């Protein structure tokens, strides 16, 4: 289903990121003197919603936030990115989600997430958004909110033949086959696919083997994100490593979310899966050259400038 301006519904977590830069990660019991500090909106669901909206999709976001100053900042960031917030519920009791993030000199990150109101996202919240879910071009899900609510959303979309993209993050062990066989595109990283399959991924052969185990659950397409190596696309008909553009990474936080949001956008624009993955790799590569999570999500024009010769052939 392709529309002139694709409609994407994202259900997931939103939070505020408290970020500090450091030369290295502290060891247990150690205090390390850090550098710059900043606060910005984050959360996998919100990040993916912003990523898709910045590229030009019409995005509806379904989530819960706290009735606090962080919640106000989350809403401000979503509005700035032109994400529809009609289905963002302000929880009267729980605080907004918060992520404590340390970024080392190589741009790698370490994150502790306190879910707050995100953990209260309910089936009733999903049902209230039914009218937009069943008319969406694609539904985008993650695992930072209630699994029961996420599975309920997947069941609803599947009933109405809406494609589902699941980013199985954070890693939380195995998921039911009943859930996975409703998923059209799964976008795990190496850690997440190991959690899902029990297969240690340390080379392309093991990555392909793990992806094939996922396909046996009924998932139609696995796109395994592999950081600076790119992404491994695995379907029943093909296996293809699509490289990422080499860049100097400043902050890798949110790069997987940039990838998933861009992949959803490209797919609902009607692009073939290999082209869509290649586009998503470019968006993710550009995002890591900037600090912040939602702040790093590029517009389509910025992506075109970043990889003009390549992107102009796609859009």
Say whether the peptide bond before residue 170 is cis (omega within 30 degrees of 0): yes
Q: Is the dihedral of CA 23, 27, 28, 32 positive or negative?
A: negative
Active-site annotation holder among 17, 91, 137, 257: 257
Q: Looking at the chain, how many residues does it have?
A: 315
DSSP label of 238: -
What is the H or E stretch that residue 245 is in?
A: none
Given a cut of 50, whether residue 111 has pLDDT beyond it is yes
Rounded distance, CA 168 to CA 245, Å?
24
Integer CA distances (angstroms), 238 to 82, 211, 221, 263, 273, in order = 36, 12, 10, 18, 11
**pLDDT, mean of residues 291-304:** 89
The pLDDT score that the predictor gives to residue 164 is 98
257 is catalytic: yes
* Model confidence pLDDT, tens digit, residues 210-233: 999 999 999 999 999 998 889 999
**pLDDT range class, residue 2, cuts 50, 70, 90:** very low
Give me the domains of the chain, ranges plus CATH numbers: 7-24+35-127+134-311 (3.40.1190.20)
The pLDDT score that the predictor gives to residue 214 is 97
Q: What is the mean pLDDT of the chain?
A: 92
Contacts of 218 (CB under 8 A, 6+ apart): 177, 180, 181, 182, 183
Question: DSSP of 260-305, one letter per residue?
Answer: HHHHHHHHHTT--HHHHHHHHHHHHHHHTTSSSSGGGPPPHHHHHH
Angle, helices 204-215 vs 190-197, to 10°: value is: 50
DSSP label of 146: -
* Model confidence pLDDT, tens digit, residues 90-101: 999 999 999 898
Integer CA distances (angstroms), 113 to 8, 40, 42, in order = 25, 14, 11
* Model confidence pLDDT, tens digit, residues 4-36: 688 999 999 999 989 898 889 988 888 888 788
* Model confidence pLDDT, tens digit, residues 71-87: 999 999 999 999 999 99
Chain centre to alpha carbon of residue 285: 14
């Amino acid at each position: 289903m392709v529309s002139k301006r694709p409609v994407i519904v994202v259900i997931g977590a939103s939070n505020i990121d408290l970020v500090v830069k450091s030369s290295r990660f502290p060891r247990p019991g150690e205090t390390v003197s850090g550098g710059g500090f900043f606060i910005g909106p984050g959360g996998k669901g919100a990040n993916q919603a912003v990523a898709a909206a910045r590229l030009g999709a019409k995005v509806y976001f379904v989530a819960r936030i706290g009735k606090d100053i962080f919640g106000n900042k989350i809403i401000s960031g979503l509005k700035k990115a032109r994400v529809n917030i009609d289905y963002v519920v302000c929880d009267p009791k729980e605080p907004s989600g918060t992520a404590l993030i340390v970024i080392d000199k190589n741009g790698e990150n370490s994150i502790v997430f306190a879910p707050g109101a995100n953990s209260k996202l309910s089936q009733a919240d999903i049902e209230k958004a039914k009218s937009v879910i069943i008319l969406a071009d694609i539904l985008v899900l993650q695992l930072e909110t209630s699994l029961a609510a996420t599975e309920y959303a997947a069941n609803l979309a599947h009933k109405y033949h809406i494609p589902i993209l699941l980013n199985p993050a954070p890693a939380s062990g195995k998921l039911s086959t009943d859930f996975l066989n409703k998923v059209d595109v799964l976008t795990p990283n190496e850690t997440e696919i190991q959690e899902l399959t029990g297969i240690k991924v340390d080379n392309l052969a093991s990555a392909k083997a793990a992806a094939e185990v996922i396909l046996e659950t009924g998932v139609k397409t696995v796109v395994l994100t592999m950081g600076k190596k790119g992404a491994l696309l695995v379907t029943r008909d093909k296996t293809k490593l699509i490289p990422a553009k080499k860049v100097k990474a400043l902050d890798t936080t949110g790069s997987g979310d940039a990838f998933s949001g861009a992949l959803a956008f490209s797919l609902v624009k009607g692009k073939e899966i290999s082209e869509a993955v290649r586009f998503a790799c470019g968006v993710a590569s550009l995002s890591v050259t900037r600090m912040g999570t939602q702040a790093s999500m590029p517009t389509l024009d910025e992506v075109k400038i970043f990889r003009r010769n390549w992107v102009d052939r796609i859009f």
